[in-house]
Chains A and B, each alone.
Chain A
Amino acid sequence: MKRIATVGLALVAWLSSSCGDARTSDEQAPARSVDSVAVTGTENTGNPDASSAETALSVVSVKAFYARYTYSQRKGMRLFGAYCAVCHGEGGEGDGFNAFNLDVRPRDLTDQAFQRAVSDEALREVIAQGGRGTNRSVLMPAYQHTLSEEEVTDLLAFIRTLARPDVTVGDTDG
């Protein structure tokens, strides 16, 4: 009789454990507040145990870059480097090597006041239609026939990151 009871209890214990393991502990379950799920899922903690300092450094700097810029901004950065940097400068300060040959100095895109004042739509228009289409200097070419709308969006996303970091730019949804 005792034997049967033991078997029965074991069966119950086994069944309940197999159902219960879907949820092992409370810490693993995500809380329902948005703030606490705002953790990037792709983030890999890297390899803190890497023997050489070199590896650790490489992991940190590359990871930091990817943490700082979104996909769209990274694409925009490459476009900016290719098309814009000759005049606006690598860092967007309006000091590209060609800037000094132009009668009208290219815009300093790191200027906080400018970044705050200009809306995404206005910036998009300047990139697409150039200076001529927006009543500014014709020295700024129009890119609507060269870049796709998506590329202009990427460019815009990157240009917004150029604003000097000590200021928060209001209008960044784009």
Chain B
Amino acid sequence: MTWGDATGLGKLKLVYGGVALVFLAVLAFSPVKDLFQEWRDYQLAYNDFVRQQPVKIKTVPVKLRQLWVRELDTVDRCVSCHVGLREKGLSDAPQPFTAHPRIPHEVEDFGCTTCHEGQGRATTMAAAHGPVRFWDDPMLATSHVEAGCGACHQEKQPPAAPVLSAGRRLIEELNCVGCHDLPGYEKSFTPNLNGIGEKVNRPWLVRWLTDPSEIDPATRMPDFQLSSDETELLADFLMSFRRFPANAQLQPLPEDYESRWESEEFIELGKTRFREARCISCHSVEGKGGHLAPDLGKVASKLSPMWLFNFLGDPGRFQPGVPMPRYGLSDTDRAAVTAYMMNEFIDWDAPEEHVTSTHQPHPNFYEEGLALFNQYNCAGCHTLDESRVSQNRGPSLAAIGSKQVFELDFGTLQLERTREAFVEAKLSNPRGFRETLRMPQLHLDPEEIQAITTALLAQRDEHAPPEMMRTDPPVPAFEPHGAIGRVFDRYSCLTCHTVRGTGGDIAPDLTRVGSQLQRTWVERYFEVPFSRRPIQAERMPNLFMTDDEIRTVTDFFYSMLLDDSLQVDGIPIGNAEAVEFGRSMFWDTYGCHSCHQVGAKGGYVGPPLDGAGKRLQPGWIVSWLQDPQSFDPNTLEPRTGMSLDESKAIAAYLMSLRAEP
């Protein structure tokens, strides 16, 4: 073929002409293809759907829609199918037409993928929701959606995100930071292992290391799934540590104990002191009692009586940082409590033969035990004075929520290739991926796994603009010094009570206690504390404080912990008419007795109010009644909206209740 050939050129023209026509047809089709998009069908279906609704809802013009949030650099086309997001009448409509539930944010300000993840620019359901190839951020399942909140809300307990809050609490409780880097999370208390050889017996330690939850189902110590050889070696290694922190020395048990420890009346004395001290406010016995401290139901099969006797005298000396208060028990009382516990709290499941058999340690137990101690990173949680102990941490989780899927080692598990599935599987069966992994079995239930997964997925390395990040405001540290500091320290008051933002939330906030309670009542209360609130599991223990200490505390309450704004003028105390009016408000108008008891009548959700006139300050009653939530956001007492005069009358009535039950 030659280019000069006339007929050849004619054919070529024909082909060109043909191609041009085909090209034109294809170009003409290109604007038409928009008519076949998935979102178009959804929008037409939406218009059909809203026309059938009993309430009038506007139909929408069919077009591609998107939310563009410039500050966050998000372009989300989700609204192309989720057309009814802003229609209140569609809260129960089927997806994708459901209205967005009301949350503290506006959809327009945040876009969709900021919280939900997924591929915002995609216009098909499969690609937008995922998981799809080449897009590692598929939409979060509804159960984990609060991970999206956590990306900006770095507060420990974001109030509108209960699952995230629970997860963050669990991560601290379980001490995940012992092995993993998780910035912002604090380490919780774990026992110091120095002196463990003097504290526990070897058979118990072997059983404990085999599976801690067998002995105490509520323990935070996970199961490292050690072989029986490993357990024996580690137990021998640990039992060789017989020196306590800071060289604390055990005092020998008093003669009282040696001679009387099995006598009935001595045990009875111990039982009485055990009850008076309300040990089960924090500890449980066979599952009943508080949940702040370990179960005591089986401790006789664990502890040496000498250690227990000494520990009760000064917990912090043998276990630095332990939240247990230092009770003011006499030596005899302590010995009696020890006798009571050693006689009563026996683990009947413990195999008998262990106790009698003599044990011959492996010749190289120390080196091999140390190697195991390091391999499983025991030092991540526990302190042990041995220079060769090393930290052997697990991978950092600081940005687990931003990890690309190819960075996660799914091992041999056939899972959906998503971060969510990975974290959930890891938590439920840590070594399921491969047998050589070290992570212990945490025995979590499904809700705990969900909560922790949510909190972990909130750990990102890319962040929203700094002005959108939310963190807890810094709390000015409350650290009392001098005599009152020693009392607060000795009795661990701030484990349960809060003063000016520092402390626990188990017991009432003491920040303004001097303006709430009457001094004489407080002084008497310290002599024999009792719980005002019957529904609370944690009761104020009898700390057996000395008179001097009680004076120090009350002086402090009534000189420092005051709030002048609680002073209210014009409360008609003693005015018979006002008292009568207050009585009718209390009983007939506001039904206060549905929660408070007076004269053995009424409910017990709140504290009984018998003798309120001797306990409470009138200004406090009025301030509280006006707005309970401003003093305690979590209180059950509803704000009634009563007038100031009504509050004053009720205060006058309550101040007239001077009879103790």
Contact = CB atoms under 8 A, between A and B. Distances in A.
A61 B445 CA distance: 10
A120 B5 CA distance: 89
Nearest to B534: A97
B26 A15 contact: yes
B357 interface: no
A30 interface: yes
B638 A37 contact: no
B95 A51 contact: no
B604 A98 contact: yes
Given A38-B94, A41-B129, A102-B594, A58 B638 contact: no
Interface stretch (A110-118, A131-139, A161-169): A131-139
A42 B446 contact: no
Contact of A52 (B44, B103, B429, B593): B429
A130 B636 CA distance: 15
Contact of A102 (B52, B415, B603): B603
B15 A51 contact: no
Given A58-B424, A102-B594, A173 B92 contact: yes
A46 B420 CA distance: 10
Contacts of A61: 446
Question: Which one of B162, B416, B591, B641 has the highest number of Cβ atoms from chain A below 10 Å of its Cβ?
Answer: B591
Contacts, number: 199
Contact of B591 (A1, A40, A58, A138): A138
A39 B81 CA distance: 13
Given A37-B42, A41-B125, A138-B591, A8 B15 contact: yes
Contacts of B129: 41-42
Given A12-B22, A142-B638, A59 B11 contact: no
Question: Which one of A28, A46, A101 has the highest number of Cβ atoms from chain B below 10 Å of its Cβ?
Answer: A101
> How many residues of A sit at the interface, in one of the four size bands?
35 or more
B428 A44 contact: no
B449 A38 contact: no
A140 to B, nearest CB: 7
Given A29-B38, A42-B139, A145 B640 contact: yes
A57 B450 CA distance: 12
Interface in A49-84: 49-52, 54-55, 57-59, 61-63, 65-66, 70-72, 78, 82-83
Given A30-B45, A70-B101, A102-B603, A83 B38 contact: no
A98 to B, nearest CB: 4
Contacts of A49: 413-416
B12 A57 contact: no
A56 to B, nearest CB: 9
Interface string A10-38: 01100110011011000011111110011
B502 to A, nearest CB: 25
B94 A37 contact: yes
Contact of A34 (B48, B102, B446): B48
Nearest to A4: B15
B604 A1 contact: no
B421 A145 contact: no
A47 B416 contact: yes
Given A22-B36, A30-B45, A34-B48, A55 B639 contact: no
Contacts of B12: 1, 4
Interface string B11-51: 11001001100110010011001001110011011001100
B126 interface: yes
A119 B621 CA distance: 37
Contacts of A83: 636, 638
B602 A101 contact: yes
B41 A44 contact: no
Contact of B91 (A34, A45, A72, A137): A72
Across the A-B interface, give the 6 residue pairs with the lowest CB-CB distance, nearest first.
A38-B94, A138-B591, A58-B446, A71-B101, A139-B594, A145-B641
Interface of A: 1, 4-5, 8, 11-12, 15-16, 19-20, 22-23, 28-34, 37-42, 44-47, 49-52, 54-55, 57-59, 61-63, 65-66, 70-72, 78, 82-83, 86-87, 97-98, 101-102, 130-132, 137-146, 150, 173
Interface of B: 1, 8, 11-12, 15, 18-19, 22-23, 26, 29-30, 33, 36-38, 41-42, 44-45, 48-49, 52, 81-82, 91-92, 94-97, 101-103, 124-126, 129, 139, 141-143, 162, 413-416, 420-421, 424-425, 428-429, 432, 445-447, 449-450, 535, 588-591, 593-595, 597, 602-605, 629, 634, 636, 638-641
Given A40-B95, A58-B446, A59-B446, 7 more contacts: A1-B1, A23-B37, A28-B38, A32-B44, A54-B429, A142-B641, A173-B92
